[in-house]
A and B are shown apart, each in its own frame.
Chain A
């Protein structure tokens, strides 16, 4: 049965691709993709409203993923929250320490990989990342081309170079 104090992962407006040890979550609202490593994925999947943080600690044991502490689980939840992957705003309840201290403490003694959420924003300007073709400088507002402000004599977002004298 769900307990309102238990963490709940976001389910709406996302696309999920599961892989053997990882989960990729695509946020359709922010157009951001998140790759959850095995630890973060296990916590995220367990945040279904029926598991408390203490229960999630036991889930690690059950899954044969090793022993972790409640701070470890909170660390994962905190990252998931920061990336908009939790349904509700939930404050981490580290045992009297800051996140930085917790990270240091867990990191030193961890037998399990620390939870990691890697993120990337889907490019807005597909044309810029594909061709760097331009008509005018305004077409060059993309970070992947050699220039973000100049459309050169060849119709490419790149600096002008003096033509050699013939």
Chain B
């Protein structure tokens, strides 16, 4: 009975909504199906590692409005601030898409923070940042670094504050099978016996790298200007707030070792990277 009621589509005039604040961003979820709204909120909670505080009423006019709608023919639509972003027939794909969209939207609009698409681990008290696009092997390298004793911070975002400190965002590590099917799976931090970062840290090394089979290990030192330019592609709020983003990125790269180069097998690359850092400190 309850299930039937939850699946019932509500008239557009009676849409349900809930509001929350996360990383300083006000978010409103609106739906025409009770169960869809509940599922979306569960996704949001998990997606943002519980950094959510519910609000009774709409918090600000600047909120990000997600409309998650089920139409009569079991079609799912997501609108962001009134603009349709996507629609499709598969519920789990819809929720998965919303999961990514929510994190990206929060990353674009979080005040006083810059979200950088990057893996992050700590080695000897300083962060190693690995900015990379999806499918460039970022999570694989992060996993290998953690296995070698690096402290896990994030495999998706470096969250940087206005002083250039990097905060942990330790979601389970997301991997995909390498059989061509790209089936996603998670590696729990417990399985890796990983130490997880708890305090904000400075950047020690920024390494732009991607997996290229058979490539030689020849990282080169790049200038601050080159690093800043490269970082633009991975900086979520760059179009929304370029002034603040560049100020923070400039602080991030200050005093960091800036490297660029292809890598081959992840385990060997992780060993070489840590070795290179250790030698540079001597």
Contact = CB atoms under 8 A, between A and B. Distances in A.
A35 B228 contact: yes
**Most interface-central of B96, B225, B234 (chain A CB within 10 A):** B225
A22 B227 CA distance: 11
Contact of A24 (B76, B100, B228): B228
25 contacts: A24-B228, A33-B228, A35-B226, A118-B226, A118-B229, A120-B232, A122-B232, A126-B104, A127-B100, A127-B104, A129-B117, A131-B100, A132-B135, A135-B76, A135-B88, A136-B88, A144-B133, A144-B135, A146-B182, A154-B182, A154-B183, A155-B97, A156-B182, A156-B184, A159-B180
B133 A19 contact: no
Nearest to B246: A17
B94 interface: yes
Interface stretch (B23-31, B140-148, B237-245): B237-245
Interface in B199-244: 223-226, 228-230, 232-236, 238-239, 242-243
A139 interface: yes
Interface size class of A (residues with CB under 8 A): 35 or more
A24 B239 CA distance: 15
Contact of A126 (B94, B108, B180, B243): B108
Query: DSSP majority for the B interface?
Result: helix
Top 3 closest A-B pairs, CB basis? A22-B225, A135-B88, A131-B100
A15 B236 CA distance: 17
Interface in A109-162: 118-120, 122-124, 126-127, 129-136, 138-139, 144-146, 151-156, 158-159, 161
A60 interface: no
A75 to B, nearest CB: 19
A17 B184 CA distance: 39
B260 interface: no
B99 interface: yes
B181 A161 contact: yes
A139 B92 CA distance: 15
A64 interface: no
B250 to A, nearest CB: 5
Contacts of B180: 159, 161
Contacts, number: 135
Nearest to A19: B224
B223 A22 contact: yes
B228 A17 contact: yes
Contacts of A50: none
Given A15-B243, A155-B90, 20 more contacts: A17-B247, A19-B225, A19-B228, A19-B250, A34-B229, A119-B229, A122-B232, A126-B104, A127-B100, A130-B134, A130-B156, A134-B97, A135-B88, A135-B94, A138-B86, A146-B135, A154-B183, A155-B93, A156-B182, A158-B182
Given A122-B233, A133-B96, A158-B182, A145 B134 contact: yes
Contact of B246 (A26, A152, A156, A158): A26
A133 B233 contact: no
A8 to B, nearest CB: 22
Contacts of A54: none
Contacts of A15: 242-243, 246
Contact of B176 (A19, A24, A156): A156
Contact of B87 (A130, A133, A136): A136
Interface in B140-166: 156
Given A22-B224, A130-B100, A144 B134 contact: yes
A98 interface: no
B195 to A, nearest CB: 26
A33 B99 CA distance: 29
